[in-house]
A and B are shown apart, each in its own frame.
Chain A
Amino acid sequence: MRALVADDSAAVALLTSRALAAIGCEVTTVADGIAAFHQGLSGAFDVALLDMIMPGMLGTEVLAGWAEAGLSLPTIVFSGVDDENLTLRCLELGALDFIHKPFDVRELQLRVRVHLAHTKVS
């Protein structure tokens, strides 16, 4: 299982990639939106974790871009910002789930596992 983690905070990126590696994912980290967008399009990933505020392209723009390109990549959105509207829009744009910061690592692992299992089935 290959996971793409996009977050500009080194601490978050490290933590998440270690957590996902622990459940058997091969993790690639990127620190800006444009890299995230292109990596996603490369089709090499089974799940993506996307931060909302990144340099280059915002999380919402990445999602919109992926949707337009017809990519179906299960995406979990990190949101540290308390913006209900933003979160709803992300879900509308195709994100599967969102995780508020501060997050529980076990919960993150669980959600990723669940979504990966769903996509395998479908």
Chain B
Amino acid sequence: MQGYLLAVGLASWLELRRHRHLGKFDRSADMLSSATTPPVSIIVPAYNEAAGIVDSVRSMSMLSYPRFEIVIVNDGSTDETLDRMIEAFRMEAISTPYRGDIATAPVRAIYRSRLPLPIILVDKENGGRADAINTGINVSRYPYVLLTDADVVLDGYCLLRAMRHVLEDRQATVAVGGNVRPLNGANVEYGKVTKADLGPTLLERTQVLEYVRSFVATRPGWSRFNTMLLLSGAFGLFRRDVLTEVGGLSRGHLGEDLDLTMRIHRHLRDQKRRYRIVYAPDAVCWTEVPNTREVLSRQRIRWHRGLFAAVRDFAPMLGNPRYGGLGLVAWPLFMLFEFVAPIIEFIGWFVIPISLLSGRLNWPVALSLLLIAYFIGAANSLLALLLDEAFGYFSRPIDALRLIGVAFLENLGMRQRTVWWRTRALWGGRSSWAWGNMQRRGVANLSN
């Protein structure tokens, strides 16, 4: 397992280096004023987001990008989400024709802003996040859509940087994933992250480490081989026509983002079309991560159940040469290390003590193996942090010490707890598999 991580980490390092080199030639100023920069529709599903929706949308409206629109889909909220939006942006209902490419729950009204702001508010009956996004896709009119969440803080240049990757090969690029970082502890001023920080609790800091490993040390590696398996729901830029071809997001699916990405892969490979799904490490967005064990456990259980659904749905792709590197290498490895490994580790908790007691394994060997695993795990995390240096967050010496501390502490309990949650996820009847809700504290209130 660690070997796999090292290999992917190496690929990520190479990819990140290439990016930094290219990043110097961003010429984002040129893209901003160029007529060739394609317009983007940002789709934001909102359910009971009254606390932070206005600040979120205001922040999004200030993105540095020449032409874009923000489509907020109010998914039948029961709080004042709709009213706050209408009031803050002086919105009025205008009967708007749109293409119903994907079937969704009924739309009640569509609003536009009286201010010169490219904001469209869609009010519809409740149908779930996937349904809300599909409605947004229907109403949006630009060739590219960015799927994100209402509580995500987008970096000012994220659209520009994501689209830059699209423009490298416009014909083939169908999707771009972004870099998601935990927002907890960061200084958010007027909807922009002015200073990133580690959260106050060990729980939050461990998640920072996890996100760094996942987004900085893993995804670039995947991107290099065109085997991006998972575009985070917090930031996924897609070409609109491909989304409508695959029928948008699946309703009622727990792992919608993974499901969507895999479906796109399958669809395009089935049709033998040349395509690429890439990762933009410099397209950054920030999202609130759970800060209590209850919420975190529910999130991880949900993720793992989504993973299980994906494993089940895409089993025919495993080891299938028709799907190239994805089917032969990336998907099996991903499944192995994300899905199977925790179970094996869980079983190991029982096997090792039993072997020790029955004398098949002796103490020093067991201890040595454990220590090796521990140190290599820490080393992997440290390597990921080194790669993350390129981004320049957490620059104070005290931050360095804290992160190093977390790297060593993580394997002493936190990781084991995650393994337990993931294994537990597979228990329980289908009825208990539902979305929890995380208390929305609102983007504006998150500053330190």
A114 lies within 8 A of chain B by Cβ: no
Q: Which of B81-133 contact A (CB under 8 A)?
A: 90, 115-117
CB contacts under 8 Å to B, within A15-61, are 32-34, 53-58, 60-61
Q: Say whether B33 faces chain A, with CB atoms less than 8 Å apart.
A: yes
**Min CB gap A67→B, angstroms:** 11
* Shortest 7 CB-CB contacts between residues of A and residues of B: A56-B190, A89-B116, A55-B192, A55-B190, A60-B116, A34-B190, A32-B190
Closest to A92 in B: B116
- Contact mask B29-40 → A, CB, 8 Å, 1/0? 000010000000
**Are B61 and A33 in contact, with the CB atoms below 8 A?**
no
B373 on the interface (CB 8 Å rule)?
no
B interface bracket (residues with beta carbon within 8 Å of A): 10 to 19
Structural contact, B189 and A82, CB atoms closer than 8 A: no
19 of the cross-chain contacts (CB-CB < 8 Å) are A32-B190, A34-B190, A55-B62, A55-B189, A55-B191, A55-B192, A56-B189, A56-B191, A58-B62, A60-B115, A60-B116, A60-B117, A61-B58, A61-B115, A61-B117, A64-B90, A64-B115, A86-B116, A89-B116
A85 at the interface (CB under 8 A from B): yes
Chain A interface category by residue count: 10 to 19
Name which residue of chain B comes closest to A68, CB basis. Answer: B90
Q: List the interface of chain A (C-beta within 8 A of B).
A: 32-34, 53-58, 60-61, 64, 82, 85-86, 89
Contact pattern, B 128-166, Cβ under 8 Å of A = 1, otherwise 0: 000000000000000000000000000000000000000
Write the chain A residue with the least CB distance to B59.
A55
Tell me the bound Cα distance from A116 to B189 in angstroms.
33
A60 to B64 Cα, complex, angstroms: 16
Contact A57 B33 (CB under 8 A): no
Q: Are B115 and A82 in contact (CB under 8 A)?
A: no
Identify which of residues 291-324 in chain B touch chain A, using a CB-to-CB cut-off of 8 Å. none
Complex CA–CA separation, A19 to B263 (angstroms): 59
Q: How far is the CB of B158 from chain A (nearest CB, A)?
A: 15
A85: B residues at CB distance < 8 A: 116
Q: Which residues of B contact A54 (CB under 8 A)?
A: 62
